[in-house]
Amino acid sequence: SVLARHYHKNVVDHYEKPRNVGSFDKADPNVGTGLVGAPACGDVMKLQIKVDENGNIVDSCFKTFGCGSAIASSSVATEWVKGKGVEEVLTIKNSDIAKHLSLPPVKLHCSMLAEDAIKAAVKDWKAKQEKAGGSQQQQQ
Question: Between residues 48 and 69, which has the closer beta carbon with respect to ligand FES?
Answer: 69
Cα–Cα dist 80/59, whole Å: 10
Q: Which stretch binds ligand FES (CB under 6 A): 21-29, 36-44, 55-63, 114-122?
A: 36-44
Size of the site for ligand FES (CB under 6 A): 21
From the CB of residue 44, how many other CB atoms can be counted at a distance below 10 Å?
Answer: 16
Cβ atoms 31, 10 nearer than 8 A: no
Q: Write down the least CB distance from residue 74 to ligand FES, Å.
A: 10
**Percent of residues in the chain assigned helix, strand, coil, to nearest 5:** 45, 20, 35
By CB under 6 A, tell whether 70 contacts ligand FES. Answer: yes
Residue selected from 82, 84, 100, 128 as contacting ligand FES according to rule CB under 6 A: 100
Residue 67 annotated among the catalytic residues of the structure: no
Residue 110 annotated among the catalytic residues of the structure: yes
Residue selected from 2, 38, 90, 108 as contacting ligand FES according to rule CB under 6 A: 38
Cα–Cα dist 32/126, whole Å: 8
Task: For residue 20, give every residue at least 6 positions away whose Cβ sits within 8 Å of its Cβ, in sequence order, or none.
Answer: 60, 61, 62, 75, 78, 79
Active site residues: 41, 110
Chain residues in the site for ligand FES (CB under 6 A): 6-8, 10-11, 14, 38, 40-41, 43, 66-67, 69-70, 76, 79, 100, 107, 109-110, 113
